[in-house]
Chain A
């Protein structure tokens, strides 16, 4: 039983470049979430999918951010024209939706540094 997998673990990029992160959820989980976490803060919700449908996006998610989950399996998060303020840990979490007792399980995260 594998956990949530994220790739890459670390990404260093120059301002203005595009980056893409991948998340593979736990296989039987139907929901997939993206969070962003900066130093000293808790995870902040970005967006989530139920199967292949993107059901909600945070106001934090600017037009430069896009996420996909084709076929309801893995997901990608792309940031276009990166800015230094995008530097953060990007966390993916998955869950099996059972209503009120849904639990999130996180991947190891992708640490993004924008120079």
Chain B
């Protein structure tokens, strides 16, 4: 079983819609949760992090964490074509280990 699981997609949404990206993790001891955006041929860019159960909002992005269900999600409101990228979910315990999912490819259609 992989530590972090993501649906690889591709996920397509029309411009202006809400994109919903999901991630599950296996280690119940995980403490920190991250979303990275990666454009084709580029390196991952940190866009959101969350540590506590519930929602965390930053602009058009909302990260949601449910530790009981071992589930993390990222919502992108008012999706723009520039949001088209691969979104990587990453999870860390306190032991300096960061585990990444394989990423979900998002395409926002103008």
Interfacial residues, chain A to chain B (CB-CB below 8 A): 31, 33, 40-45, 48, 55-56, 89, 91, 97, 99-109, 111
Contacts and interface: CB of A to CB of B under 8 A. Distances in A.
5 contacts: A40-B8, A42-B90, A42-B103, A100-B32, A104-B34
A42 B102 contact: yes
A99 B94 contact: yes
Q: Can you list the 9 inter-chain pairs with the closest CB atoms, starting with the nearest?
A: A42-B100, A100-B31, A106-B43, A109-B43, A43-B100, A42-B102, A106-B44, A108-B43, A42-B101
Contacts of A44: 100
Nearest to A89: B43
Nearest to A109: B43
B94 A56 contact: no
B96 A91 contact: no
A40 to B, nearest CB: 7
Contacts of B90: 42, 104
Given A89-B43, A101-B49, 5 more contacts: A41-B102, A44-B100, A91-B43, A103-B34, A108-B43
A111 B42 CA distance: 10
Nearest to A33: B98
A87 to B, nearest CB: 14
A105 B51 contact: no
A106 B46 CA distance: 8
A103 B102 contact: no
B4 interface: yes
Contacts of A102: 32, 92, 96
Interface in B40-67: 41-46, 49, 51
A100 B51 contact: yes
Contact of B44 (A56, A91, A99, A100): A91
A64 to B, nearest CB: 23
